[in-house]
Every structure is written in structure tokens, then in C-alpha cells.
Amino acid sequence: MEWEAVIGLEIHVQLATQSKIFSGAGIAFGAEPNTQACAIDLGLPGILPVLNESAVEMAVKFGLGVEAEIGMKSVFERKNYFYPDLPKGYQTTQNDLPIVGKGVIEVEPEEGKIRQVRIHHAHLEEDAGKSLHETYTDENGRGMTGIDLNRAGTPLLEIVSEPDIRSAKEAIAYIKAIHSIVTYLGISDGNMAEGSMRCDANVSVRPKGQEEYGTRAEIKNINSFKFIEKAINHEIERQIELIEDGGRVIQETRLYDSEKNETRSMRSKEEANDYRYFPCPDLLPVELDEAYIEHIRSEMPELPKQKKQRFIDELGLSSYDAGVLSATRPMAEYFEQVKDRCGDAKLAANWVMGELAGQLNKDNLEIEQSPVSAVQLGDLVKRVMDDTINGKAAKQVFAALWAGEGASADEIIEAKGLKQVTDTGAIAAIVDEVMANNPQQVEQYQAAPEDKRGKMVGFFVGQVMKASKGTANPQMVNQLLKEKLG
Amino acid sequence: MALERSDVEKVAHLARLKIEDNDIPEYTRDLTSILELVNQMQSVDIDGTDPLAHPLDATQRLRHDEVTESNQREHFQQNAPAKEAGLFLVPKVIE
């Protein structure tokens, strides 16, 4: 039987605020345990949470970015459960009236294959603290769990998709699209390694063509692109095997173990999901007005989709190139800087996607870590455009910039004597010398029929380039050789 | 709707309340009569009435996004029954 996977994702995005969602404690990453946990975060008696205006603004920006309905009135509720990393006994979150309603996002899992994934809603909530299951013991030697509440109260935007995703590959494309939007908007650093983006996946399978969904399992807390794909694929296989062997999928939460590449049961959802939501009496409804929304709309930056279209329409780039160059904000910023510096979008695109991307890939670096800055690369491309250097020398200059051998293309061109020779007399002299040193080849060339000569001239071009240390203008070399060889 | 003994036990468990066995019949009766009141209210026509999220007719004031709290760990951990390396210690949580 042919099976189809049905996947819905819940992505928790940590918002790039200065302080927590309901308190004035900081949220810097890597602080000493419990040094950023104030009375509100600790849930001490008598506290009153007050909502952070930046968190609201960031959530609205996201909503506008995915063309969603904005909840003009949204309500915070208490989700009740007991766990030591949540000292209040409830998580303050949104349920019935979230700040972001239905939206849609376009993803491209394969070149040219565009899919729409609907966003069910996105809501604001607070993060919980962290439990450290290490070897702590009390005075009687009993095992204890360490609790760090620095993370408690960190603002999160939970983005819930409809079950519109059909493969692990599409899931990755969707997460990358969300990552790209939140980083373009500047509402999150999107740093998965530091937990700024965490993903839960609801996975079920059904016979292809069947309308009804199968029973789903939720895979918790997968936090790298690589593991998301593996975890989902693994879970799809597990469910298919289970059903084909006559079993049935039960609704439960499973944890992905990246070392063993397997998911295992964590707790049965039926048991745990009685959260008894009710409106939080400490927080009043949040009401937004049109003027506020319009103000935020007017401050929206260009998003990846619009940027891609502009690269195609205004810069004349291919759809593929425009897609690659607009995929992430750092990539787009780098490319646009190179383009502005040199003034030629296509050449800038070729260099960024070719030489630069190749080196970054080879050295396993992100574009933000590139040893060659956009200004340096832009100046280098300019020197190719004005014929100061030829393409071959340009690659040498790039390698030298990469290795930190000079501060600018001009400096390296000067130091290495790479300036292109365009003086006809000088090139002619080298051509003469090469012909004089290779009389046999000259004879063979002149004896060859016209249609064979094209290939043979390559030998002389190579010799001339070598003699000029790569600095001769290749077009001029070709032309002079043809004239002189007859 | 009449509650069962098991409903009361479940609610008590979710709320982490320890209740005595011989008190359960009374809780069951009391909670059932509260639900009967809810049932009575269900018959009211509320078409065109928005759900009330808060009894006060006011909206949430927002706070400027700035760090105003300094580290007071020592102070807050004074009455913690167990702590180590800046962490609060609690009886081992087993998943």
C-alpha cells in the first residue's frame, strides 16, 4: 500500500526582546543560573505580570509578514500543569483568542515546486525554566533535580501550522521559510543551537487518497534542521511499519534521540492534556487598533518573497539566483552591498554564488563569518569590470583577500603585479617571443586546415598567458595571435 | 450532570490536592451542585454576547521593553529548602 504522511508543525520562536514577556528581568543567553529570574519569574506571591510592548509588536509584525488576520483583541490564559521548571503551576499563554490568526506561507521544497502551508494561528506565551537532571543529591543522598529559572518568562511566539505538510523535506522548507521571515523581520535571532527556534512535529500517516487523518504522534523539541528531517522520516517509517504489522498508532508524545536515530514514547497525551485553560485574571485583554497596525505595517522591511521578486524584476536575475540570494537576510544584505559597490547585479550574483559560496562551503563558514567583506568583494568585481584585471587574476586576488594577505583588491593587485596588460605593443612583444621559441608548433599551425586551428591556438594563448604571468588581456592575446600566426 | 467519585479524584490529582477518602462523597455532592448551577446558566440566550475574559472593563497596559530587574539570587534563594551551584534543587523528576 502507498502511504502518505500528514505533518503539522509547532514552532516556538524566541523573540528578540531585551526583557521578559511579563517582567523586567533580562534574557541574555548563557547567564549564571537564576541570576535573571526575578520575583515574577519565580511566581512568588503578590506579583503582577505586565505585558512587554515589544513582544506584542513583534508578534504583529510576524502576523503581517504571513498575511494573517491580526487578533485585535487577544487574551492571555493559564495553562495549568505541575512541573518544577514552572513554579507558578501554570504557563501564561494564549488559547481562544491568539494575537495572530489564520495566515499562509509559501514554501519551495524543490526548485519551481511551490506549496502553500496555512498557518492555523500564532500566539504569545512565556517559556519555562530548565531542569538539569545531573547528579545532585540532598543531605540524605537522595537524587535531586537542579532548576534554573533564567529562561522562565522568556517571550515566545508559537507558530502553529495546519497539517498541510506531506514530507520531511517540505517540513524543512517550511521551517526555513519561517526562519527566514523572523530573521528578516528582526524579531528573533533564529539561533537554533541556542534554542531560539524549537520545533514540535505532529506526524500521522494514512493510505494515499484517504481523506481522514490517521492518529498522530507528537515529536517534541527537535532543534536542528538535520534532526528535524531525520526525526520526521524515522517517525513516518515507524508508524507505517506498525500499521502494516497489524498494530495501531496511539496518540502520544515522543522524544527524538539523535544518537540512536529513534523516537521513543515520553508520555501518553490523553493522560497529560487536561490543562484546564482559563483567562488569566492578572492580565487584561490586549486590544489593538487600526492605527497601531498601520504604523507597524509602515515599518515592515522587505520580506524574502518580495525581495526575490525585486531581484528578478529590477536586477534581471534568474528565479533560481534570486531565490538563493534572498533566502536569508545576511545573504541578501551581503549580495546587495556587493552589487551597490560594483554596480553590476549579475556579476555580483556570480561572485557571491560562485567563488564566495564555494569558499564558505569549503571552510564550513556562514556568510556572516566571511573573511572577505562585501565591500572588498564589490571593489574586486569593479576591477574586473573596468578591465584592471582579468578573470584569472581576479580569482587570485580573491584567494589572497580570503587569506588575509591584503586589505583591498587594489592593494593585492599592486603587490602581486596582477594589473592586466592591455598595451598592444607589450603583448605583441610577448607573442613574438613565444612564436620564436616554438617554431615547430607555428609550422604545424600554419599547415593545419582552418577548422583545426581554433583548438591549436589554445597552446599559444597558454604560453603567452604564462609568459605574462597571467596579466595579459586574453581577448587581445587571441586577436594578436590570429593576426601574427596568419 | 452527576459527578462520579473518579471525577473528583481526577480533579484533585490534576490540582495536586490531597483529599481524604471519606470527604470524597461531600466534594462530589458540592461539585455536582455547582455544575447544576452551570447547567441552569447554559439555558440563557447569549447570542450576540462576547465571551467575557475579565470582569473589569479595561484593557492591558503595556510595559516598555527594558531590563529593570537586577540579580537578586541570594535574596530569593534564602528560603529555598535545597540549592547548589545557583540552582534550586527539587526531588528528582523522573520522566
A34 and B62: CB-CB below 8 Å? no
Longest dimension (CA), chain A: 101
CA distances in angstroms from A355 to A358, A364, A397, listed in the order given: 5, 14, 11
pLDDT digits (tens, 9 = 90+) for A365-383: 999 999 999 999 999 999 9
pLDDT digits (tens, 9 = 90+) for A179-190: 999 999 999 999
Contacts of A283 in chain B (CB under 8 A): 60
B54 and A56: CB-CB below 8 Å? no
- Interatomic CA distance for residues A11 and A201, integer angstroms: 8
pLDDT digits (tens, 9 = 90+) for A56-113: 999 999 999 999 999 999 999 999 988 899 999 999 999 999 999 999 999 988 877 8
Q: Walk me through the domains of chain A, giving residue ranges and CATH numbers.
A: 8-204+267-294 (no CATH), 302-416 (no CATH), 424-485 (1.10.10.410)
- Interatomic CA distance for residues A123 and A94, integer angstroms: 6
Please give the grid coordinates belonging to residue A62.
510576524
B68 and A42: CB-CB below 8 Å? no
Cα A227 off chain centre by: 15
Q: Which residue of B has its CA nearest to A52?
A: B63
Cα atoms in the Cβ-side hemisphere of radius 13 Å centred on A47: 15
Q: Which of A15, A32, A34 to mutate to test the interface with B (most CBs of B within 10 A)?
A: A34
Contacts of B15 in chain A (CB under 8 A): 80
Selecting from A42, A266, A287 the residue whose C-beta is nearest the C-beta of B76 gives A42
Please give the grid coordinates belonging to residue A127.
517559556
What pLDDT was estimated at residue A419? Answer: 82
A30 three-state secondary structure:
coil
CA distances in angstroms from A91 to A22, A80, A348, A370, B61, listed in the order given: 12, 7, 49, 41, 20
Contacts of A82 in chain B (CB under 8 A): 16
For residue B79, give every residue at least 6 positions away whose Cβ sits within 8 Å of its Cβ, in sequence order, or none: none
What pLDDT was estimated at residue A227? Answer: 87
What pLDDT was estimated at residue B1? Answer: 66
Angle (nearest 5°) at CA A377 between A372 and A382: 160
Give the residue, B51 or A77, on which the prediction is more confident: A77
> How near does any CA of chain B get to the CA of A379, in Å?
41
pLDDT digits (tens, 9 = 90+) for A124-168: 999 999 998 877 887 788 889 999 999 999 999 999 999 999 999
B53 and A75: CB-CB below 8 Å? yes
B69 and A23: CB-CB below 8 Å? yes
Contacts of A53 in chain B (CB under 8 A): 62-65
ipTM: 0.90
B51 has pLDDT over 50: yes
Selecting from B51, B53, B71 the residue whose C-beta is nearest the C-beta of A35 gives B71
